[in-house]
Every structure is written in C-alpha cells, then in structure tokens.
C-alpha cells in the first residue's frame, strides 16, 4: 500500500498533511527516513514510525469491551458517551464497527471490529452465533416459558417470532438467556411478553467469545486468536 494512503487510512491527517510530513522527514520505514509518498509499504512486515512513534497496523482488529451502563452503542452522540469514545490509541485509528448493539442501561460484552465479514458473521441471525445474557427480572419468573413459541415487536413494531433460545435458570429471578438475533430491546420484550420486567441485563458471551470478567467496566482488550 502507498505510504501516504496507509497513513491516511490510520487517520494521521489528510493526504496533503501527510505528504508534508513525509517530505519533512517525519516518517521512517524499517529505520530509514522515507521522503516519497508513493513508497510501497508492506503492511505486514514493515515497521513504520510517524514523528518518532511506532505505528500499530493490522488488517483485522477485534476488540472486546466491557460496556458500562450509561454509555451508548453508537458511533457518535451529542449527549452521551459512546462505546467508541472509550477506545484509545492505537485502536481508535481503525474504522471500528459495533458487532451487536446494547441498550444504554445494558452492560457487558461488546465486540468491535473493522472487518466487515466478521461483523456480518457475528450479527447475522442465520449464522448460529448465540448471544448470551445474564438476566435479572423484577418478580418470580419461570424462565422455561421463553422456550415456547411467541411473538414480540421488533424495532419497527412488526411482530416477529424469536428463534428458539437457550435458557439456563439460576433462581426464581435470575437466568441466562441465549438468543441468535439482536432485535431492538429483544430480551426485555421477551420478558415483558410474560408480564415481567428486566431489572438488570448483561451480555456475557457472543458465540464462543466470553466476556473476560477481569476487564473493568469501560475497559477493552484486543482479541488476537479467535474463531467465531
């Protein structure tokens, strides 16, 4: 990839600004100053620095975030902090997308990736990727009722029948629920269908990726070896 494009992709500036920096000897590749913007970078092998700092580059980034309540799953929001606001250097330089949103008051596992195919695999209900939630409800509840077929409203107020979930009861008020889709307020609506109310919701896994419980709320880490 051309050096100027590589740096622009990583948000080091506009192509013009970057060309000036390259001409001004602010960029090295494998320890050598490069002054030609058209220089071809081997994005896997080459070590690039910008103004003296090492550049972190990878084609595919996958991050696990422990979302706290009060933060929204959107790219930008004038009012609230977003999950992307929690991501710092070097990962905030990549075009990360949220693989399955959570409500503002829901906590737990959020995956972020710049890989469109991976994103699709995670969020498409047909891909057999279960999203598992820890659910606490207001009053006594027989969670096995959720295994019956029933309809709820999706985000656009159309009725839909959730695909068969998995349920693991903890006690009368708490259980784990694994669902394949991620429709608007789906877990809350499934519980409301049975005249109960979710009082706490936390996503604990997506497919075979479990939330690392040692991650404090608001913290994230890169997942290096994964298969979903």
Binding site residues, ligand URA, CB under 6 A:
102-103, 106, 185-188, 201
User: How far is residue 135 from each of residues 131, 154, 207, measured CA to CA in Å?
Assistant: 12, 19, 18
**Cα 89 to Cα 94: distance, rounded to the nearest angstrom:** 10
103 labelled catalytic: yes
114 or 186: CB nearest ligand URA: 186
The one catalytic residue in 103, 105, 115, 154 is 103
Structure tokens at 41: 């970078």
34 or 190: CB nearest ligand URA: 190
26 or 101: CB nearest ligand URA: 101
Contact 187, 109 (CB under 8 A): no
**Cα 153 to Cα 123: distance, rounded to the nearest angstrom:** 19
CB of 108 to ligand URA, least distance (A): 9
Residues 6+ away with beta carbon under 8 Å from 16? none
| Residues with a known catalytic role | 103
């Amino acid at each position: 990839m051309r050096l100027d494009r590589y740096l622009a992709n990583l948000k080091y500036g506009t192509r013009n600004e970057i060309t000036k920096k390259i001409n001004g000897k602010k960029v090295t590749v494998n320890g050598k100053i490069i002054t030609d913007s058209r220089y071809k970078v081997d994005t896997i092998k080459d070590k690039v620095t910008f103004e003296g700092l090492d550049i972190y580059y990878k084609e595919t980034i996958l991050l696990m975030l422990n979302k706290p309540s009060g933060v929204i799953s959107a790219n930008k929001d004038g009012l609230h902090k977003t999950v992307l606001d929690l991501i710092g250097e070097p990962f905030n330089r990549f075009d990360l997308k949220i693989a399955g949103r959570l409500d503002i008051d829901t906590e737990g596992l959020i995956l972020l990736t710049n890989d469109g195919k991976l994103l699709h695999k995670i969020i498409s209900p047909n891909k057999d990727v279960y999203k598992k939630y820890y659910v606490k409800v207001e009053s006594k509840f027989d969670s096995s009722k959720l295994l019956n077929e029933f309809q709820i409203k999706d985000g656009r107020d159309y009725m839909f029948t959730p695909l068969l979930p998995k349920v693991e009861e903890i006690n009368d008020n708490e259980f784990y629920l694994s669902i394949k889709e991620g429709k608007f307020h789906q877990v809350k609506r499934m519980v409301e269908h049975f005249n109960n109310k979710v009082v706490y919701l936390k996503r604990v896994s997506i497919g075979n990726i479990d939330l690392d419980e040692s991650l404090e709320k608001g913290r994230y880490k890169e997942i290096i070896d994964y298969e979903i």
